[in-house]
Structure 1
Amino acid sequence: MHFEYPWVLSAVLVFLFCEKWCPLRLDLLYFPNIDNIAGSRAGTSLLQALKWMVITGSLIALASPVTTKEAAPSYALGRDMVLIIDASRSMDETFSIVTRENKFETLKKILESFIQKRKSDRLGLVVFGEFAYVASPVTFDHRMLAKMIPFLEVGMAGERTAINDAVAMAANLLKSSDAKTKVAVLLTDGRNTAGKIPLPVVEKLLKQYGIKLYTIGVGRPGDYDPKLLSELAKTTGGRFFSASDAGMLKEVYDTIDRLEPSKVKQQPVIETTYLFSYPLFVAAMSLLAYLLILNRSEV
């Protein structure tokens, strides 16, 4: 415990000085039986004790006693990231000859691992096919987000691919973010064959909201549009990656994890508890008792 204003306690010297050199001159007051009242006051040690309890309690309260405890914050707002994943019908193609997994099932396993690494970030999820929708807003609840991934299925957002609409929706998720860094990661294995939002509008949104976009083309180079993905990434200061198998795809997400580190230096939070109410309560009760005894002695 310590005092915020310890210099206030020095005021007790003023009261000690007045106690010795500035006594109350009751003999100057003219009313009957003054000598008896003065005599009873002078001999009452209880009144003296209560008076000093009022003085010391008030001074301690004014000095503001506090206790402090340092605690680490639960989260540090450093980076908001939206994962944009293609769930169109083409993602149902086999990606691994060994495991017979399609591209989408492989992606879901990699995403679960990626989400677990982003401990200090808020993460969001946009799923798209023929249309785009928000599967999860940006959140610190990574556990909920990871549990959602297994329930995603190919074709749940339509058969075709609306890349521009998906990126625009991610930009809309991040536009009101006050994070230091805003990042979106787009994965697709197709070309922009659906949607209504033109590319210039998407690029304008990304620049306007200060969003860095990483793009990933999955599958054979002819399946997706490397020119579009490269342009989107370059416009925002991000990077374009290509992945033709599961190993390359995992390496891409590992690279993005290194390029956008999740570790944010957290400033400790100081929890302050104010204790002035306790000495103030003692001073108030002492004052009431002092006045009560004083009035009774004067009756």
Structure 2
Amino acid sequence: MFEGIYFQFPKLAFLLFFFLACEALCPLRSNPLYFPRPILFGEVGVKPPIWLWIAKWAMIAFLVIALMSPVRDREAARHERGWDILLIVDPLLTGTAAIPQIISFMNRRMDERIALWVPENTIVPLTYEHKALISILKQTPVPESSGEATLNISRFFATSQEGHKVAIIFSENPKSFLTTLPIGIQTAMISPLKEPQWADTLNRTYPSYKVKQSHRYFDYYYVYPLFLGFLSMLAYLYGRNQKGIR
């Protein structure tokens, strides 16, 4: 859960020792918020409960941790010039040798967005989550009859760059499966059972893109100790305002 988290300003931890030193050494003469010295105010009143002491130091500790700014950095690939590929699979190919071939093709394009459309069964928009896409494809049920690609194919490419759109239609009867071809989108018609080398042909026609640059991102977590410190402060103030507590 906390793997990879570190502090941007670890030296601010000295503030905690500063508070500890003041608690032990500072001869305060008032009824302060952060460094109560009940022993200096006589014996009248009720002894503060242990939870009040815990709330005070939890408040101080969490606020110091928030100041130290816990963060986690991560490397994220920057996808700029890869293909956006729509795989349109004839439902009749489900359960045939074509499915492992399609999965192998997807595994060779890990740095590109791929969408999946199996008419009458499955619609998955463009995504880099290829493992989930492969799992969905494997679980697609075998239909009783052939489907027909009737949806507007261009809607899958709403966020794609011009010149990076490819629709690949897998069917043994493409003329009956797809009635119209999309405009402005490169299209390939594949009969996977009749063309066993189709994957190599596609990889030559549309070379796979490999990410060559990644960016460093930071996730900041200071808000969590800050929130816990605020709650501890409210509990501490509530306890200090109770009648009779010195």
- Please, what TM-score do these two structures have when normalized by structure 1? 0.44
Of Structure 1 and Structure 2, the greater helix share is in: 1
- Partner in structure 2 of residue 256 of structure 1: 202
Q: Do the aligned partners of 2:73 and 2:216 also contact (CA within 8 Å) in 1?
A: no
1:180-214 Cα distance to aligned partner (Å, 9 max, x none): 943211357779699886x7xx43xx2xxxx3323
1:77-92 equivalences under 5 Å are 80-84=84-88
Q: Which runs of 5+ in 1 are unaligned?
A: 27-36, 88-103, 127-132, 158-165, 219-242
Counterpart Cα distance in 2 of 1:54 and 1:106: 59
- One-letter identity of the residue aligned with 1:250: P
Residues 115-138 of structure 1: CA distance to partner in whole angstroms, max 9, x if unpaired? 344144433236xxxxxx565323
| Partner residue, 2:225 | 275
Q: 1:114 aligns with which of 102, 122, 130?
A: 102
1:137 partner amino acid: I
Q: Are residue 182 (structure 1) and residue 165 (structure 2) matched?
A: yes
In the alignment, structure 1 residue 123 sits paired with structure 2 residue 115: yes
Q: Which among 119, 123, 126 is matched to residue 137 of structure 1?
A: 123
> Does the aligned pair in 1 maintain the 2:89–2:171 contact within 8 Å?
yes
Contact map agreement 2:116 2:122 (CA 8 A) in 1: yes
Contact 2:66 2:226 in 1 (8 A): yes
Question: Which residue of structure 2 aligns with residue 60 of structure 1?
Answer: 64
> How far, CA to CA, are the matches of 1:214 and 1:269 in structure 2?
37
1:11-63 Cα deviation digits (max 9, x unpaired):
6769979x98995479xxxxxxxxxx96528xxx989x959738734642541
Change (3 A) 1:268 1:79: farther
CA gap 1:111/1:153 in 2 versus in 1, 3 angstroms: farther
Letter in 1 for 2:85: M
- Cα gap change, 1:175/1:270 in structure 2, threshold over 3 Å: closer, same or farther? same
Superposition pairs for residues 1-299 of structure 1, below 5 Å? 2-4=6-8, 24=29, 39-40=41-42, 50=53, 53=57, 56-57=60-61, 59-60=63-64, 62-63=66-67, 66=70, 68=72, 80-84=84-88, 108-119=96-107, 120=110, 121-125=113-117, 135-139=121-125, 140-148=132-140, 150-151=142-143, 157=148, 169-172=152-155, 174-177=156-159, 181-186=164-169, 202-203=182-183, 206=184, 211-216=185-190, 246=194, 249-257=195-203, 259-261=206-208, 273=221, 274-292=224-242, 295-297=244-246
Q: Whole-Å Cα distance in 1 between the matches of residues 234 and 159 of structure 2?
A: 49
> 1:113: how far off?
1.8
Summarize the Cα distance change of 1:270–1:260 in structure 2 as closer, same or farther, 3 Å threshold.
Answer: farther
Query: What is the TM-score of this pair, normalised by structure 2?
Result: 0.51
3-state DSSP class of the match of 1:275? Answer: helix
Percent sequence identity is 14
Structure 2 alignment gaps of length 5 or more: 32-38, 126-131
**What is the rounded CA distance, in whole Å, between the counterparts of 1:25 and 1:124 in structure 2?**
71
Secondary structure of 1:118's counterpart equals: helix
Helix, strand or coil at the partner of 2:196: helix
Report if aligned partners of 2:103, 2:134 keep a CA contact under 8 Å in 1. yes
Identify if the C-alpha distance between structure 1 residues 2 and 114 changes in structure 2 by more than 3 Å, giving closer, same or farther. closer
Give the 3-state SS of the residue equivalent to 2:42 in structure 1. Answer: helix
Measure the CA separation in 2 of the matches of 1:25 and 1:146: 72
Bigger CA radius of gyration:
1
> Aligned-pair RMSD on alpha carbons?
5.8
Relative to structure 1, the CA distance from residue 148 to residue 79 in structure 2 (aligned partners, 3 Å threshold; closer, same or farther) is: farther
8 Å contact 2:56–2:232 — kept in the other structure?
no
- Once the two structures are TM-superposed, the CA of residue 252 in structure 1 deviates from its matched residue by 1.9
SS in 2 for 1:184: strand
User: d(CA) in 1 for partners of 2:233 and 2:187?
Assistant: 63
Contact 2:94 / 2:141 at 8 angstroms: preserved in 1? no
Task: Measure the CA separation in 1 of the matches of 2:218 and 2:25.
Answer: 43
Q: Which amino acid aligns with 1:176?
A: A
8 Å Cα contact 1:8-1:59 kept in structure 2 = no
| Secondary structure, counterpart of 1:250 in structure 2 | coil
- Count residues in correspondence: 212
Which deviations, in whole Å up to 9, do the C-alpha atoms of 1:150-185 show, x marking residues without a partner? Answer: 54756x55xxxxxxxx5973233x232458943211
